[in-house]
A and B are shown apart, each in its own frame.
Chain A
């Protein structure tokens, strides 16, 4: 078992590296295409189905600044795979270098327990939870922009801001009444 560590390698100059983890590989590619359009610095996007990452290109892999777990709410499997992958992350990542991105949250067939489970997971790890629309190009651009904001901070490209500081403000919190029965 090899942990992915946030500080195991030297950072590149004017470079930010983001790792998108998605079990079903539906949203990854379009999101990656949107992310690399950034011009002010180099954005390296790495894609993975799950963690741990394979050992063979361990050497060529840059330091990962931000790990994004993409969870499709309509698929139970994508949640389970993300949950399983979390074990292979160094705890240092959870100080602001992990975020969850949920897709299909607007789908009416999604049971509310599914969303609650994701929120609880994100809240227990103190990570931000983003919602994205993966069907429209606008939604993809939006999601990329939001990720880029976090990535810039995580890669240290924003003076006077650190990822721990940012994540303290943006982390997901579970509402107190999440376990209460709703009256609907």
Chain B
């Protein structure tokens, strides 16, 4: 059928002789077709109804087709070169248009891929930058680690301790200065009242300075952290104790009024 069809279409631009030849060919084919058709109608076998028999039918038919394909010999469309040329031309044109479609399709695909590639390259560049930055950082850290020896760590720590000591010294000094300047040891004031002065002198004989009170408190806290309380005795000048309590530097014992401790600053 297909051969007949393609031959028929080509005939439009062929010479008379070629056209005649083609028509003859077509008629031959059609005659053969009619013959086969009659055979088919005459020998129509009665197929079985159930699916299993149908499967067998199918198998038989497929095998028959296979045999036919194996036996078939490829033959020319027609002997006439004119016909062949025309048919070939037609096929070529068809193939060309199909290939053109394929080409344009692939071009579109290529363009799309190119776009994707550019995008990916941009990403890659960014990723590379990140990688470079990260490896730089790692390298720096590694260098630092290498140059850091035990000795240098020790020296570092020592220097820090030294610095802290100096700082503490300075703090202590300034504390001492402040105390000396603003809260001196209660002493004989050139007061008018002689009697009163005597009494004060009497009291102040074994009084200690605020400096010393703080020192006692601090030492107590540091030496016996479980019992930081110090009993107030007559060496503590009451106004100082009062001042410490009032400004929250010291705290009285909850049960014993005569005991105080340093406020927990740390």
Does A158 count as interface, using CB distance less than 8 angstroms?
Answer: yes
A159 at the interface (CB under 8 A from B): yes
Q: Which of B40-88 contact A (CB under 8 A)?
A: 40-41, 44, 47-49, 51, 54-55, 57-58, 61-62, 65
Complex interface residues of chain A between 72 and 110 (CB less than 8 A to chain B): 90-92, 94-95
Would you give the shortest CB distance from B215 to chain A, in whole angstroms? 81
Q: How far is the CB of B154 from chain A (nearest CB, A)?
A: 67
Q: Which residues of A contact B48 (CB under 8 A)?
A: 91
Asked if A95 and B58 sit within 8 Å, CB to CB, the answer is yes
Contact A94 B1, beta carbon cutoff 8 Å:
no
B61–A164 CB distance below 8 A: yes
| A168-B5 contact in complex given A94-B54, A125-B51, A126-B55, C-beta closer than 8 Å | no
Q: Does residue A62 face the partner (Cβ distance < 8 Å to B)?
A: no
Instruction: Determine which of B4, B8, B33, B65 lies in contact with A165 in the assembled complex, contact meaning CB atoms within 8 Å.
Output: B65
A4-12, A20-28, A43-51, A129-137: which one contacts chain B?
A4-12
Q: Which interface class (under 10, 10 to 19, 20 to 34, 35 or more) fits B?
A: 20 to 34
Give residues of chain A (130-184) contacting chain B, Cβ–Cβ below 8 Å: 156-159, 162, 164-165, 168
Residues 1-38 of chain A, each 1 if its beta carbon lies under 8 Å from chain B, else 0: 00001011111011000000000000000000000000
- B219 → A minimal CB distance (Å): 78
Measured between beta carbons, the chain B residues less than 8 angstroms from A7 are 37, 40-41, 44
Contact (A11, B41) CB under 8 Å given A125-B51, A168-B62: no
- A91 in complex: contacting residue of B4, B57, B65, CB < 8 Å: B57
- Asked if B206 is at the interface of the complex by the 8 Å CB criterion, the answer is no
Are B65 and A162 in contact, with the CB atoms below 8 A?
Answer: yes
CA distance A1 to B61 in the complex (A): 26
A-B contact list, 19 entries, CB within 8 Å: A7-B41, A11-B1, A13-B5, A14-B5, A14-B8, A90-B47, A91-B48, A91-B49, A91-B57, A94-B58, A95-B57, A95-B58, A125-B51, A125-B54, A126-B58, A156-B1, A157-B1, A157-B5, A164-B61
Binding site for A on B (CB under 8 A): 1-5, 8, 33-34, 37, 40-41, 44, 47-49, 51, 54-55, 57-58, 61-62, 65
Chain A interface (Cβ within 8 Å of chain B)? 5, 7-11, 13-14, 41, 90-92, 94-95, 124-126, 156-159, 162, 164-165, 168
Please give 10 more A-B residue pairs, beta carbons under 8 A apart, in addition to A5-B44, A41-B5: A7-B37, A8-B41, A14-B8, A91-B47, A91-B57, A156-B2, A157-B5, A162-B65, A164-B61, A165-B65
Closest 5 CB pairs of A and B: A91-B47, A159-B2, A7-B40, A156-B1, A124-B51
